[in-house]
Amino acid sequence: MSCRAPCTTRKARLKTRAKRMGNMPPDDLLNRRKFLSGSARLLVMLSSFTALACACTREKEEERRLTDLVIEQGKLVLDLGENRYQALKTIGSGLKIEITRQEKPLLVTRVSETRVAAFSSQCTHAGYEILLPEQGILACASGHGGIFDLEGRVLAGPAKSNLPHYPAQLIANRVYVAYPFG
């Protein structure tokens, strides 16, 4: 059975430990600990900021907001031959269109081979923005559980009313939306 000296001081223990770690003086050992601890915290903080920035960028790209619009006879015209409107060629998908002086963008969805729908992208429950369609449904960004179909009708609450819609039609390869500009 080995016996240790009962009165070893902290400084003596640090010196012994320093000898084992390559003859580092105790003060350098403490600085090394602070450095490693601070570096680890910084790494965690930077990685969380990077993840957040990537998520925000991805969400913005997915929304495909558009600003330069074509208006004919008071109707918004979306030519599906243009690359920026390609999402509307796929049934069950959609895109958001930024309208000047409007808080939330217009949401246009492809309902079927022959039908499109256009409505406000603002949830009727709490005013949060509606996300782009996934698997044929629209969800509220709030996470409250508000779900709508591709035509803006409530499927699950807390929202009790449908999304305000605007008359929209698909003629040839163009979508026409009667939107109250101004």
CA–CA–CA angle 56, 61, 62 (5° rounding):
100
pTM surpassing 0.85? Answer: no
pLDDT of residue 71: 79
For the chain, the domain total comes to 2
For 37-48, the pLDDT digits (tens) are: 777 777 777 666
Between CA 152 and CA 75 the distance in angstroms is: 20
Mean pLDDT, residues 121-142: 86
* pLDDT over 50 (residue 20): yes
| CA 40 to chain CA centroid, nearest Å | 27
pLDDT over 90 percentage in the chain: 25
Both 29 and 92 in one domain: the answer is no
Residue 17 contacts residue 8 (beta carbons within 8 Å): no
In a domain, 167, yes or no: yes
Can you read off the two tokens belonging to residue 106? 């217009």
Residue 29 contacts residue 21 (beta carbons within 8 Å): yes
pLDDT of residue 58: 45
Question: Of the residues 61, 87, 104, which one is the last residue of a structural domain?
Answer: 61
| CA 149 to chain CA centroid, nearest Å | 20
Both 17 and 83 in one domain: the answer is no
CATH number for 152: 2.102.10.10
Give the mean pLDDT of the chain: 77
For 48-78, the pLDDT digits (tens) are: 655 555 555 444 444 444 457 787 888 889 9
pLDDT of residue 102: 65
Pick from 36-45, 66-75, 152-161, 169-178 the range whose average pLDDT is largest: 169-178
Both 78 and 103 in one domain: the answer is yes
* pLDDT over 70 (residue 145): yes
Can you read off the two tokens belonging to residue 57? 């960028």
Any long-range contacts for 133-142 (C-beta under 8 Å, 24+ apart)?
133/92, 133/93, 133/94, 133/109, 135/92, 136/92, 138/94, 138/107, 138/109, 138/163
Enclosing domain of residue 146: 70-177
* pLDDT over 90 (residue 116): yes
Both 118 and 93 in one domain: the answer is yes
Question: Strand order of the sheet with strand 106-110?
Answer: 94-97, 106-110, 116-120, 165-166
Both 57 and 77 in one domain: the answer is no
Mean pLDDT, residues 21-32: 60
Both 29 and 111 in one domain: the answer is no
Q: Which residue has the higher pLDDT, 176 or 123?
A: 176
AA identity, residue 103 = E
Both 81 and 151 in one domain: the answer is yes
Between CA 181 and CA 61 the distance in angstroms is: 25
